[in-house]
Amino acid sequence: MTAQAEARRDPTRGVGPSGARAEPPIPASAGVGLKPAHYRDILEARPPVGWFEVHPENYMGAGGPPHRYLEAVRERYPLSLHGVGLSIGGAQPLDTAHLERLAALVRRYQPGLFSEHLAWSTHTTGFLNDLLPLPYNESTLAHVARHVSQVQECLGRTMLLENPATYLRFQDSSIAETEFLEELASRTGCGLLLDVNNAYVSAVNHGFDAADYLDRFPMEFVQEIHVAGHVRRLDDLDQPLLIDSHDTPVPDPVWILLERALKQCGPQPVLVEWDSDIPEWAVLMGQAERAQHTLERCHPAAYRHHANAC
């Protein structure tokens, strides 16, 4: 293993001088979404991954094997929490019970980052198994900003908000998504999570240029990047329709967009998301290595000190 790889998997990170857990920042290196299918591979082989990310909703039970494994991973790697259930763009008030469960997880695991989606997924008492888009206008901007501030106040920390993959747009949207996100970050102090796969999926589905979207994205607020795979379908008019499925390797157009984004926002934590049809660990590790190489190719000076330490 190279010194560079060793530095990324430094097992002492996250443990304070007295053994008390600190809150290690998420490094500007490649991370991977943690899945139960890979717990043993990771704990036995200690692969040179910079950090892991989990959906907090999968760890809201009190104990049992999920927490045992997550505790063990958290002792060895920085951890990020990436929520999917807050429905922060929903019209109704936030679910305070869900928020409390989230706050308890944040206190327990002290993650380096917490992020959620600019989307909604609940209506009255119904839970929808999807992240749905919202109209971008002054009214929803003020509403989502209040929700973001409420979350940050409850958690006692800033959060990141992620650009969504979308399949439809609203006639009463009057603000570009990139401006909407920029204004949210400015008003609330939150950071942004740039998902370049989501940008590509939305661009193909709506017929705009993904590179242009990135050029307009408020990169000064970006603190994390996602890459993932998608599937290609045809809609009822035989036009291309991309589904943000997270069940394939990251396709070439997304790798190209990652390079473009990294050159604009500097070295950032880059997460490989893979949430369905989970592959063997070696396949996921290969994707993480490609993300790490992309980071190093875009910003050689930022990683040179690791190489010099060889």
Binding site for Fe ion (CB under 5 A): 195, 226
DSSP 37-83: GGHHHHHHH----SEEEE-GGGG-SSSSHHHHHHHHHHHHS-EEEE-
Give whichever of 38 and 226 is closer to Fe ion, judged by the CB atom: 226
The Cβ of residue 236 has, within 10 Å, a number of other Cβ atoms equal to 6
Tell me how far, at minimum, the Cβ of 82 lies from Fe ion, in Å: 7
Distance of closest approach, residue 152 Cβ to Fe ion, in angstroms: 20
Contact 27, 8 (CB under 8 A): yes
Which DSSP category does 88 fall into?
T
Nearer to Fe ion, 4 or 294 (CB): 294
> By the 8 A CB rule, do 187 and 216 touch?
no
d(CA 161, CA 227): 15
- Nearer residue to Fe ion within complex by CB, 106 or 118: 118
Residue among 116 and 195 whose Cβ is closer to Fe ion: 195
> 49 or 118, CB closer to Fe ion?
118
CB of 195 to Fe ion, least distance (A): 4
Tokens 């979350």 locate to: 151
Strands 240-243 and 231-234 come out as antiparallel
CB of 117 to Fe ion, least distance (A): 8
Nearest-CB residue for Fe ion = 226
Query: Cβ 160 to Fe ion, closest distance in Å?
Result: 11
Closest to Fe ion by CB, 183 vs 195, is: 195
What's the closest the beta carbon of residue 217 comes to Fe ion, in angstroms?
14
Q: Residue 199: is it exposed, middle or buried by C-beta count within 10 angstroms (0-12/13-18/19+)?
A: buried
